[in-house]
Structure 1
C-alpha cells in the first residue's frame, strides 16, 4: 500500500529567517535611498543659506557705505553755512576749514563750476593750487549724494575719493568738497567683520576697487573683472558665479548703494562652500547608516529568536 504518512506543514526555520532578512532589506534599501536624497537636500540648503547670508550682508554694507558718505556730506553742509564762505572772505574760511580737518588725512577744497580750485586746506593760503582731480567727468545726477570715483590726490598722490555739496560764495555757485584717502573705507570691514573665508570688496561707480578684505594694498585701484562689470551693467544687485582678481572661483553677491552708486561685493569660495555643504551631507548620511546598521542587528536577533523555536519542531 502507498505510504500515506502526512507531510509536515510546519514552517522551516531557514525559510522564515530568509523571509525576515528579505523584509528587513526591503525596508533598509528605501531608507538608505531616502537618506541620500535627504543628504543632498541638506547640501543644497546649506549652500542656499550661505548665498542668502552673503546677499543680506552685501545689501547691509552698501547702506553702511552710503552712511559713510552721508556723514561726510553732513560735515560739508554744516561748514557751508559759514559767514566767511558766504561773504567770500576765503582767507578766513581757509583757516576755519584747515582747523576742522587738522590731524586727519582729509582735505577740504573749494572749486569753481569749471573745476578750478579756489581753496585747498593742504596748500597754504595764497600758494598756487593744483588742478582739480576728484570730478573730472562731472557727477551722476541720479544719486542723492555727490560722490567721486577713485582718483589720485593732486598734492599727496594717494588713492582718494571725495564728496561735495553746492554752495554760494558771494552770490556765485561753487562746490565745497571733502577728499579722503580710500584707506578710510577699510573701516567698513573692521566695523562689520566677515566670516572666515568670505571676501569683501567695495567698488566705486566705475568698478575700481576702493576697499578689500584681502590684500587691499595690491588691489586698490584695479578694475573689477569683466564678468563682474557686465553683471553690474545689467542689475544693481544679484548673485553671480565668477572668478576674483586672484583667479579664485566664487559665488559673488553684489549690491549697489542707492545714494552713492558705489557697490559692495561679498564673495564665497566655491571650494569652501562645497566643503561645508558636503560635510553636512556626510553627517546626515553617517547618522542614517548608523540607524540602518542598528536596525539590521536588531532584525538579525529577532530572526534568530523566531527561527530557534521553529528548528525544535
Structure 2
C-alpha cells in the first residue's frame, strides 16, 4: 500500500467578522469547514470547485501559511501544528507552494537569479559560490535559459513568470507542493506546457502535489484522484476515472456537465444550477448544497449529510447516495 505523505483531519479555518464601534467579532466566514483527505507519496490530488469555495485557503492552511481554527495536519506522520518556529522553518524546505498569480508573486526589484536562489541563502543550505550553479540547474529544468538569471520579472511573459515561480518552489527539491491554480492566468497553449512540466518533474523526482483549480479538464489531465469542494466542505472524492464515469453528488454532476467536449456531434445533458452560492458567513442548515440542488428532500434542509465511503474509496457527502 502507498505511503501517506499528507493527512488532513477535520480541518477548519474561520475568519472573524468584526463590526460596531468597538470592532467586536459578530460572526465568522467559514472558509474551510471540516475538510479531511490524504495525499499519497508521488500522487497528485486535484481539488476543484467554484471560486470562493475554500480551495486556496485549504492549501495555505495545510502549509501553515495561515493558522488553522481547528483540526489536524500531518506531514510524514508529524503534526505540523505542534512544531515550534525552528522546526517549522526546517520543514518549509520539504513543503512548497506555487502561487496563483505569476505577476504579483515575484518581487519586481529582484533579478530571477536572486528570486530563485534567495531561499537557499536564507536557509543556509548553500554557499554563495554554489547558489548560482543550483539556480542555473533548476531554471534549465523549468525550461529557462542561463541568460534569464540577470533579468527582472517585468521582462518575461506570463508563462515564463510561472516557470520562475515553479523554479523557486523546486530549488529545495521538496517532497510536497501545493499548486494553487498555477495555470489559470495563462493562455491555453502555455497551460499545456506548464502541466506537462509539472507531470515530468513528478515522474523524475517523485513529488506529491495538491493541485488546486476550478477547471475540471485541467485537473483531469494531471490528477490521480479528485476532490470536489462546495462552500468550504468536501462533497466528493474519488479516483479520476471513477469520478468522471460515475459522479455521485449532484454538484459534481453539474460541474462535469459544463466541461467542454471536443466532439461537436456529442450532445450532453447540461445541468444548470439555479440560485446564487450562499454566503460562507451564513451557510445553509443541513446540506449546504440543498438551496441549489434539484433533488433536495426535506431531510437535506435540516440534517448534515455524513461524508462516507460509497465503495472503492469513493467518498461522498449526500443523503441521496
The bucket for the TM-score relative to the shorter chain is under 0.3
RCO (CA 8 Å, sep 6+): is it higher in 1 or 2? 1
TM-score of the superposed pair, with normalisation by structure 1 = 0.23
Bigger share in helix: 1
